[in-house]
Structures are given as structure tokens and as C-alpha cells.
């Protein structure tokens, strides 16, 4: 049986790089693609000499040509944190629209199955809790966060159009907050932000009164859910995330306890359109994929903190003067 080939865009990103590892471990030949606008070459450096990995530096918003056959495509190229998509809003919209269109065309030409990385952000600031896949969302299309939310909502729409009109094999994963090694310390998400502040001896910044809730899924669990969804026969969106919810205020106290530091929690104004609740309903994933998260928050946070502790002083202080304006992710 010939070796299956998979293209993973955003391969040098946090999730993309872990997906490369998983597919190589499963015996696939992996073609990684990234333009490094937010990805980090260090995330895939360990794969440079692997005979089952080929890297192509390319912007997916431009025409894509891959030599040879493809069995699967996973589209994970996109800014994924508020710091990024507020700084590069046009690129964020383009990678969700033009980039997705290009990859759908490639999948059609290669007769490949395409899985797109959607997000819990399609639900906006939800009016139902927890969020199920049949909830249409509550999104401010013209707010500062709309560039990301709407890029992902359009991405879902055009993917389903190709599925219905062309009969293309497509899958849609709605990713909820995910964490683990290879996150960027300065990307504005709550886990690296809190851990970076703790490691630098700074007070931990909470926006609003800290009553907003989040749920955090460890990266190996997320990757396993994505892998199972790709190989399933289900074309509609599926939530993959950890349903165990915690308030940001309580989470800050957990980080202080984990890091053994003596900082206090300080409060700043809540940013525009920051969702107050974010928790997946994973009933569908449990039934369809026989999937649920296995790594508890205490274990996952320890592994993540150990990763951040080993960063260089230069890396640690890159985020020192950032204004983390949102902790949605």
C-alpha cells in the first residue's frame, strides 16, 4: 500500500506543528506549508532531517501547486490570537477567504479530503451555554474582532458550498481554547500571558472582574480529536475542546499556585466584544468520534509551564511590554 500524503498549512504554528508530528507518527508523508507571518521555524526544526517531511515556504493566499498526489489537506494557516489578528486584519481576512478558496481548488484538483480549522469564535459572545454545533452565534461583524470571526464563518460557508456543489470531501473542526508547548509567550492568550507575567515576576492582569469563563484543552487531546474527525465520514462542523470551565479570576490564582510566585492579580477594563462564556458541548464528538479529552488541567498546565520555564531570557522578555487586550483564547 502506497504511503498517504498530507498537506498541512500553518505547519510552523502551534497546532500545525503538533499535527505534523502526529501524522508523521502515523506513517504519513507530510508536506508542511507556512509563510512565517505568525509561525515559528523552531516549531518544525526537529523535522528538518525527517525523510517523511517536506517543507514549502508559501503564502496560501497565492496560487498553490503541489507536485504529486495528495490524500488529505489540513488548513491551519491563520493568525489565531487577538494580538495577531488585530495587528494584521487584512491578512487574517485573506487567509480565511482567498486561502481557503485556493485550498479547496487544490483539493478538488487532487481529489483530496480537506479539513478546515474553524473556531469557537464563530459563536461570538454566545447567548447559549454551553455552545452546540447548531447554535448560529452572536457576532459583531464590524467590531475589531470581526476580521477573525467572519473569516472563519466565511471559511465554513465556502467549504460547505464546495462539499454540496462539487461533492468534495470536507471536514470542519471548531477548535476551542487549546494550550501546550510551542505556544508563543507573547501571543496575547491567557495561558502564555499569565505564565509569562509570573516568570518575569509581574502581577497577573485580568480584564473585567474576572468572572468571564474559559475552558482549556491540552494540545495532544485537540490533535487527537482533529485526527479522528479527518478520518470520519461527517462533513458538518464538530466542536473539539475541553468542557471543564473555569473563571479567569480563579484561573489566575491557579497559575500563581502552580508557579510558586507571590504576585497579585490586578484588574483592567474588559475589551470590546470579549465573550463572557466559552465552553464547548462535545456531545457530538463523543458520539461520532468516540473522543473526549484525557489530559487534566493540572497535568497539562505543568507540562506547559515546564516548556515556558526553559525559554531563554530574550524569549521571556519579548512579551514584557505587550498590551494583552483580550483573553478570549
Contact 260, 197 (CB under 8 A): no
HEC string of the chain? CCCCEEEEECCCCHHHHHHHHHHHHCCCEEEEEECCCCCCHHHHHHHCCCCCEEEEECCCCCCCCCCCCCCEEEECCCCCCHHHHHHCHHHHHHHHHHHHHHHHHHHHHHCCEEEEEEEHHHHECCCCCCECCCCCCECCCCCCCHHHHHHHHHHHHHHHHHHHHHCCCEEEEEECCEECCCCCCCCCCHHHHHHHHHHCCCCEEEECCCCCEEECEEHHHHHHHHHHHHCCCCCCEEEECCCCEEEHHHHHHHHHHHHCCCCCEEEECCCCCCCCCCCECCHHHHHHHCCCCCCCHHHHHHHHHHHHHCCCHHHHHCCCCCCCCCCCC
179 is catalytic: no
Strands 178-179 and 204-207: unpaired
Strands 72-75 and 5-9: parallel
C-alpha cell at 173: 473542526
Residues 6+ apart with CB under 8 A from 257: none
Task: Report the candidate in 4, 76, 2, 19 with the shortest Cα–Cα distance to residue 225.
Answer: 19
Q: Which of 28, 85, 148, 162 is catalytic?
A: 148
∠ CA(202), CA(203), CA(204), 5° rounding?
115
Q: Which residues are catalytic?
A: 148
Amino acid at each position: 500500500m502506497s504511503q498517504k500524503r498530507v498537506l498541512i498549512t500553518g505547519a510552523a504554528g502551534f497546532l500545525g506543528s503538533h499535527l505534523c508530528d502526529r501524522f508523521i507518527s502515523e506513517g504519513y508523508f507530510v508536506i508542511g506549508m507556512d509563510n512565517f507571518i505568525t509561525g515559528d521555524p523552531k516549531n518544525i526544526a526537529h523535522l528538518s532531517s525527517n525523510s517523511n517531511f517536506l517543507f514549502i515556504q508559501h503564502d496560501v493566499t497565492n496560487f498553490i501547486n503541489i507536485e504529486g498526489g495528495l490524500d488529505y489537506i489540513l488548513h491551519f494557516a491563520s493568525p489565531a490570537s487577538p494580538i495577531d489578528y488585530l495587528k494584521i486584519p487584512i491578512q487574517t481576512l485573506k487567509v480565511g477567504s482567498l486561502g481557503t478558496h485556493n485550498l479547496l481548488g487544490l483539493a478538488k484538483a487532487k481529489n483530496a479530503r480537506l479539513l478546515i480549522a474553524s473556531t469557537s469564535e464563530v459563536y461570538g459572545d454566545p447567548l447559549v451555554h454551553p455552545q452546540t454545533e447548531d447554535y448560529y452565534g452572536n457576532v459583531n461583524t464590524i467590531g475589531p474582532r470581526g476580521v477573525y470571526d467572519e473569516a472563519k464563518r466565511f471559511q465554513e460557508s465556502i467549504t460547505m458550498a464546495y462539499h454540496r456543489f462539487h461533492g468534495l470531501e470536507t471536514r470542519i473542526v471548531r477548535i476551542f481554547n487549546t494550550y501546550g508547548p510551542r505556544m508563543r509567550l507573547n501571543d496575547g492568550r491567557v495561558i502564555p500571558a499569565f505564565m509569562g507575567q509570573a516568570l518575569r515576576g509581574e502581577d497577573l492582569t485580568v480584564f473585567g472582574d474576572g468572572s468571564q469563563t474559559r475552558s482549556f484543552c491540552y494540545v495532544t487531546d485537540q490533535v487527537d480529536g482533529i485526527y479522528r474527525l479527518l478520518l470520519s465520514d461527517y462533513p458538518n462542523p464538530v466542536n473539539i475542546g475541553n468542557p471543564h470551565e473555569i473563571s479567569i479570576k480563579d484561573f489566575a490564582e491557579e497559575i500563581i499556585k502552580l508557579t510558586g510566585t507571590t504576585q497579585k492579580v490586578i484588574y483592567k477594563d474588559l475589551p470590546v466584544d470579549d465573550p463572557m462564556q466559552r465552553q464547548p458541548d462535545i456531545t457530538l464528538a463523543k458520539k461520532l468520534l468516540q473522543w473526549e479529552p484525557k489530559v487534566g488541567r493540572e497535568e497539562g498546565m505543568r507540562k506547559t509551564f515546564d516548556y515556558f520555564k526553559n525559554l531563554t531570557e530574550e524569549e521571556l522578555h519579548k512579551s514584557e511590554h505587550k498590551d494583552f487586550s483580550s483573553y478570549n483564547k
